[in-house]
Amino acid sequence: MNTQRKPRIAFIDLTFNWPPVGGCWVDLMQICSRLQDRGFETKLFVPVWTDYYPRGRIESDLPFPVEKIHFSRFTFNAYHLRKRFGKAVGEWKPDYVFLGDGYHLKPHLLDHFSKTVPTYCR
């Protein structure tokens, strides 16, 4: 971790949409924005896949950066999630990773990221 700045925290949520339809997305938005207000660098990484269960649909501005990673019904699986989120988050070089909602795919991301960066789950 770089001691010259406050930590950089990557947030990953596989079901995030905005405006929210549930409280967990409000919680995540509040955590990201309040940490950013206190000088932490935060970024939310979300999949965009709207074929069945809409994911990554963000219809208004958020007070922190969001990186959208596009998927299809053929690529929204553990293999491609590890590969694509691993690349995007790895290029951003966070000090910590925080995993929000992810259902049965969350363990795959936890396994991937916890090998190289402190990773926390909601």
Q: What is the CATH number of the domain that holds 47?
A: 3.40.50.2000
In this structure, is residue 2 part of a structural domain? Answer: no
Cα–Cα distance measured from residue 106 to residue 44, given in angstroms and rounded to the nearest whole number: 15
CA 36 to chain centre: 15
Q: What is the dihedral of CA 71, 66, 85, 73, to 10 degrees?
A: -10
pTM here is 0.92
**Domain limits at 103?**
8-121
Residue 3 lies in a domain: no
Structural domain tally of the chain? Answer: 1
Residue 2 binned pLDDT confidence (cut-offs 50, 70, 90): low
Render pLDDT for 44-68 as a digit per residue (tens, 0 to 9): 999 998 777 777 788 899 999 999 9
Q: What is the pLDDT of residues 31-41, one digit of tens each?
A: 999 999 999 99
Pairing of strands 66-70, 119-121: unpaired
Question: For 105-119, how does the pLDDT look when each residue is reduced to its tens digit (9 = 90+)?
Answer: 999 999 999 999 999
Exposure of 32 by Cβ count < 10 A (0-12 exposed, 13-18 middle, 19+ buried)? buried
For residues 2-20, average pLDDT: 89
